[in-house]
Structure 1
């Protein structure tokens, strides 16, 4: 799946953010009246980034049945979140619809903030005429950011559901720009074409089909709802962390290599099977996001929507010099 992101640091970016979200809303098939609400809320989110935040980033993520708009920053954070939701609340004396207005404008709303560190806000609009690409047994959220100077992200992700399993995949095309994006699209197409295939078979098919395109690193996780398991297979340097309901966590290790070149090296991807339940989280991200974060230190973030978690990790740990993509899966099935 694709998305778009915009660094928001000056007033001119507010207009750009509004236009970006408006186009995405119309492309997602949302009615004109809803698209206007999306644009209004996005303008307020972007304005807040300019007025209050440092390192502001606005992410627009469409999927089959919804549109997510995520605003994330690196500080200073909100000291009293409930107070900030009140109508008319402002620390600068300016007028706007505020966070409370955004919450009423959106179909779903979430906010996570740490005072002194930063804030992530999620506003979501549903398209009730379309069906989600995944089972209701899992919740999924994502956020991505193109490399500086690029309008196309070379990282991508995919999700599809069939025969009682939901398969989620992440791809990082080598380099960045349109050629990297083409490599990622080629890899992710195999997931949507055959979501019930075992992850190791999907990776092998991606490898064989890459042809003259640039290679990619990939991570594939398949959730079997009847068996309460997740099966993982990856190639390359993606970071994948499983967070269990009891607070314990594990890094799922990929096979070294690059899809599209691995066959010549003789390496084979190694599948891993782990228990999965309604309290579990799986986080996958490309190397455009630093792996120097601990699930234990982010435990309060995991009380939130997967898309909020994805936006928080991208905003706080994104390197901002390469393509970046974060995909978060929860076992709650709430999104």
Structure 2
């Protein structure tokens, strides 16, 4: 999936953020009036990051006929989110200005904030003719290219066919165009054949000689009317499964990489775990620290998957490497 991320630290980044979002809206086929709404809301989000936030990122994420714009930061966070939504409300150290206007301009809006930790705001627009009914499972992602690189070496895809949904995260070795090509080669197999078994998809990635570098991958598969998720991974991606009762488990990948460099005969075998409407699956590359505690942030999983992905990237991204977070929800809020 494509998208763009911008570190927002000065006023010059406000116009850049506006341009990124407006271009994505036009490429999604949105009419001029809607493009202007996207641009206006994005300008306000970026302005708030400049004025009030530390470590601010502005993310533009098009996917499945939807355009998400995320503003995420590392603090100071909001003490009173409800008050901050009122027009004209502003207190030093909060993202108060314009949030009500952003919510009115967006088709969907979400906000997650913890005082002393940071804030993530989601504004979403639907393209013409897109399906506004939530997909089951719901999938969203956020990614960031290493500083100085034009392309992100991490990629993700969600593809569906015949009642099967397959979600994949790929982290190409290194940075830049070579890493991006390796990730694209890996995710293309999922896009082309989402109903194939995870074992077959990994084998196809292993045999693919089109990319000059390998990649680490994490794949999850869901089948209609089947209360399980299948997971298979190769490499060092972090993958956590969170149950509706708050219990959580780390799913372990097979060591190695896929692609030109083989894994010395080690076979990646899928594992099955229970899945229901309150389950969550988090997959992220090593550009995001794994030192986050699901038990301490269960309130995050009352929000949209895109908000959770943005929070992970903003609050726990290393910001010196390619990074990508993919978040899958079972469908209902906890």
Deviation digits for residues 112-139 of structure 1 (CA, Å, limit 9, x no counterpart):
000011000000001142459x982211
The alpha-carbon distance between structure 1 residues 303 and 212, as it changes in their structure 2 partners (threshold 3 A), is closer
Secondary structure of the residue aligned to 1:265 is coil
Residues in 2 aligned to 1:51 and 1:130: alpha-carbon distance in whole angstroms: 35
The runs of 4+ residues in structure 1 deviating greater than 2 Å are 261-264
Which residue of the partner structure matches residue 123 of structure 1? 123
Q: Give 1:71's aligned residue.
A: 71
Structure 1 counterpart of 2:170? 171
Q: Secondary structure at the match of 1:300?
A: helix
Distance 2:230 2:76 in 1: 39
> Deviation per CA, 1:216-256, whole angstroms, max 9, x where unpaired?
00000001231111001110000010000011011111000
Would the aligned equivalents of 1:232 and 1:273 in 2 still touch at CA under 8 Å? yes
Q: 2:283, 2:271 → 1: CA distance?
A: 15
Whole-angstrom CA distance in 1 between matches of 2:209 and 2:322: 20
Q: TM-score, normalised by structure 1?
A: 0.95
C-alpha offsets along residues 139-183 of structure 1, whole Å, 9 cap, x if unaligned? 111100000111211100000111212100000000011111111
- Name the CA shift for 1:135/1:115 in 2 (closer, same or farther; >3 Å): closer
> Post-superposition shift, 1:261?
4.4
> In 2, Cα distance between the equivalents of 1:24 and 1:326?
20
Residue of structure 1 in register with 2:146 after alignment: 147
Counterpart CA distance in 1 for 2:247 and 2:5 is 32
CA-atom RMSD in angstroms: 1.8
State whether residues 158 and 166 of structure 2, in contact with CA within 8 Å, keep that contact through their aligned partners in structure 1. yes
Residues 326 and 212 of structure 1, relative CA distance in 2, 3 Å threshold: closer
Distance 2:293 2:332 in 1: 24
Comparing 257-266 and 181-190, the one that deviates more: 257-266
Q: For 1:25-81, what per-residue CA distance to the aligned partner results, in whole angstroms no more than 9, with x for missing partners?
A: 111111111111000000000000000100000000001210000000000001100
CA contact (8 A) 1:187 1:210 kept: no
- CA change 1:192–1:51 in 2 (3 A) is same
- Is 1:54 the counterpart of 2:54 in the alignment? yes
**Partner residue in 1 for 2:33:** 33
Q: Is the 8 A contact 2:8 2:49 kept in 1?
A: yes
Separation in 1, partners of 2:134, 2:302: 20
Q: Is the 8 A contact 2:182 2:211 kept in 1?
A: no
User: Deviation per CA, 1:72-106, whole angstroms, max 9, x where unpaired?
Assistant: 000000110000000111236xxx97100000000
Unpaired runs of 5+ in structure 2? none
> Compared with structure 1, are the counterparts of its residues 198 and 100 closer, same or farther at alpha carbon in structure 2 (3 Å cutoff)?
same
Over 3 Å counting, the alpha-carbon distance change for 1:107 and 1:91 in structure 2 is same
> Does 2:163 align with 1:187?
no
How far residue 23 of structure 1 moved from its aligned partner, in angstroms, is 0.8
Q: 1:264 to 1:251 in 2, by over 3 A?
A: closer
Measured in 1, the distance between the counterparts of 2:242 and 2:11 equals 39
Aligned to 1:309: 308
| Equivalent residue, structure 1, for 2:279 | 280
**Unaligned 5+ runs, structure 1:** none
Q: Are the equivalent residues in 1 in contact too, given 2:308–2:327 (CA < 8 A)?
A: yes
**Equivalent pair of 1:110/1:123 in contact (CA under 8 Å):** yes
- The equivalent of 1:84 in structure 2 is 84
Q: Is the 8 A contact 1:135 1:161 kept in 2?
A: no
Is residue 219 from structure 1 mapped to residue 181 from structure 2 by the alignment? no
- Distance in 2 (CA, whole Å) between partners of 1:168 and 1:28 is 22
User: What pairs with 1:97-116 in structure 2 (closer than 5 Å)?
Assistant: 98-116=98-116
TM-score (norm 2): 0.96
Q: Once the 2 structures are TM-superposed, how far is the Cα of residue 263 of structure 1 from its aligned partner?
A: 3.7
Q: Is the 8 A contact 2:214 2:261 kept in 1?
A: no
Q: Distance in 2 between matches of 1:135 and 1:168?
A: 16
Aligned residue pairs, count = 331
